[in-house]
Amino acid sequence: MKKRAFVIFVVIIFLCILGNVSSFAQSIDVSNHPYKLFFERRVSQFDELNIPPNAIVFLGDSLIDEGRWDEMFPNFKIANRGILADRTEHVISRIIQITKWQPSKIFLMIGTNDLKFGVKQKIILSNYEKILELIKKDAPKTEIFVQSLLPRESKFRKPIEHINKELMILAHRTGCVYIDLYPFFLDKNGSLKKEYSNDGLHLLGTGYLKWKELIEPYIQ
């Protein structure tokens, strides 16, 4: 009798945990995302999908989202967790969807949309540090690769270069690997090279192949 009661108790606890996990998407505040419904749909989808054991996760905004990482690295288990228009605060709100699966590596790029929406650089860096803290706390064996922001319109050159300098310092201080992609995409006018983009922000296939080339040694 006692054994049966214990089994029932364990099942109830499991169902409660499952319910909490599956309802995670509903608990995220989407009110400040520029594409609220899209963000909600994507987060909901990530709730329903498993990240396989020892997977490599790409995490960030549309630059990550639009990359076909699983096709660029077909010999590895890849999970793309980029979302269009995400800022650092949005990644904080959904990081548990990644860390609960204990991925082997996370390649992170986030922050360019913060600059576009006028988020102060101090807040961007504070949020970024929070992301790293949460990963290290909840997935302590996961290797973290902090990728520099890429160039965009030349008016963003100074803030991007400042953020990248601080990200390098932050990565080294927290035991993460910093990957400096920025100079390889920068043109002589301080913008994103035209050969890599058709809108000054997002990448063409040539841009993604360059990115692949630069991070390939870290994927192995």
In a domain, 115, yes or no: yes
- pTM for this structure? 0.87
170 domain-assigned: yes
pLDDT digits (tens, 9 = 90+) for 188-198: 999 999 999 99
**Cα–Cα separations (whole angstroms), residue 186 to 64, 122, 191, 207:** 18, 24, 6, 11
* Model confidence at 11: pLDDT above 90: no
Report pLDDT for 36.
81
Is residue 156 a part of any domain in this protein?
yes
pLDDT of res. 28: 66
Is the residue at 117 inside a domain?
yes
Residue 137: which CATH number?
Answer: 3.40.50.1110
Provide the domain count of the chain.
1
Question: Could you tell me the residue range of the domain that residue 81 belongs to?
Answer: 52-219
Residue 43 within a domain: no
Residue corresponding to tokens 């749909």 = 41
Instruction: Specify the amino acid at residue 155.
Output: K
**pLDDT tens per residue, range 67-116:** 999 999 999 999 999 999 999 999 999 999 999 999 999 999 999 999 99
Domain contains 30:
no
Whether 179 is covered by a domain: the verdict is yes
The answer to whether residue 204 scores a pLDDT higher than 90 is yes
Which pLDDT does position 160 carry in this prediction? 98
Note the pLDDT of residue 29. 67
In a domain, 13, yes or no: no
What pLDDT, in 10s, does the model give residues 143-179? 999 999 999 999 999 999 999 999 999 999 999 999 9
Amino acid identity, position 24 = F
Instruction: List the one residue out of 74, 73, 91 whose CA is nearest residue 82.
Output: 91
